[in-house]
Structures are given as structure tokens and as C-alpha cells.
Amino acid sequence: MTGLGLREVSNPSELFLSERHLGSPGTAVFAGIEGTRPLLVEIQALVAPTALGTPRRAVVGWDQNRLSVVIAVLEAHCGVRLSGHDVYLNVAGGLRIVEPAADLAAAAALVSSLVNAPLPADAVYFGEVSLSGAVRPVAQAAARLKEAQKLGFLRAVMPESSRGETADTGLTLNSVGMLANLVADIAAQGKTRKNDRKPAREDG
């Protein structure tokens, strides 16, 4: 909506990603499907220590139950302890996501915030997380990748079983079979970042 009335948005994905803060921990770009159209949107997470007996869980733009499932899987299968932390999750731009394909992006954003490790700015994420911790395939993987490539992204983190369904988009595909593998990669980046910040010891 403008001062002259409604104006067509030719590329909704570009609109939703226009105010991204690159290099910030706790943010992941989700390659989703809205109706029949691929759409990229940023998922933001904040994980902070809590002083409350019952940690707070707040989510905007996504299903509260899906967040609970992802947190439970992270706790049970990935060794991520969130019981002493408040968790906030937000879908940027006011969009509401209803597909479970956002599970992987949400999990990556949560772990990124917890360990203070920014995710790659040129990567998109999609995949459904099962109760066993496996990353399940989702529909229209090729369309999601083509949209990511069109907007200049260079890599995609996606279900391992979807790799054969994807067209040649020129993206580097990082296939994930179990959520624990992705969590381990992000945690390792967090440790490296922490070590890089330590001041050099002075001899003598």
C-alpha cells in the first residue's frame, strides 16, 4: 500500500529479506512455499538464560506446537539444553508460516542464538524434523532452491532424501539426515568463535 494506492510486489521474497542484519546470531532464512509460490523469509530466534522457574516460550508467525516439538527434539536427541532458557521465535515481516518445512530453519536459528554463532548469510534452510530427530523431505524442493538461487543465495541446507528431487540450480547443497549433525556443525562454529575472542596470553 502506497500513497497512490495498492502496488504490485513483483518479488515478495526480496521484500521480506530487505532489512536483514547479516552476521547476527539467531537468524536463518527459510525457503518456504506460500500457496503455490516459493517464498524466502527470515526466522529470528532469541535464547536467553531465565530467572523464572518455568522458562518462557513465545512465538510470533509460527505454530506454538511446532516450536515445542523442535525444542523437545533438540533436548532429547541433540544434547541442546534449553530448560534453563527463555525462547523467543519470530517470523520477520509479519508473515505466518503453517508448513512444517520450517522446522530445520527454526532449529538452526535457536542453536545459533544459544551458542552465539551466526549462520552463513548465503544459505537457506528447509526440512521437517521428526520426533526421532530425522530430517524429513518436503514438497517442491526444486522450486525452493530456484527461488534461493534467484535471490543470490549460494547454498542450501536441506533433507538428505530430497537431494535427488532437486534440479540443477547451481547451489551448493548441504544434505542433512539427522538434526544432530546440523547442531554439531553450528556448535563447532560457536566454539571457534569463542576461542577467537580469547585474548592472547602473555608469556612471563
At 101-124, the pLDDT tens digits run: 999 999 999 999 999 999 999 999
Residue 198 clears pLDDT 50, i.e. is over it: yes
**pLDDT value for 161:** 80
Cell numbers for 179: 538434526
Domain boundaries, given as residue ranges, for the chain:
23-184
pTM of the model: 0.85
Comparing CA positions, the residue from 33, 9, 17 lying closest to residue 122 is 17
CA pair distance 104, 32, nearest whole angstrom? 11
123-137 tens-digit pLDDT? 999 999 999 999 999
Supply angle C-alpha 156, 161, 167, rounded to 5. Answer: 55
For residue 165, name the pLDDT band (cuts at 50, 70, 90): low
16-58 tens-digit pLDDT? 455 666 778 999 999 999 888 899 999 999 999 998 888 999 9
Tell me the three-class secondary structure of 114-156, residue by residue. Answer: HHCCCCCCCEEECCEECCCCEEECCCCHHHHHHHHHHCCCCEE
Assigned fold of 23-184:
Ribosomal Protein S5; domain 2 (3.30.230)
CB atoms within 10 A of CB 64: 12
Q: Which 8-state DSSP code applies to residue 203?
A: P
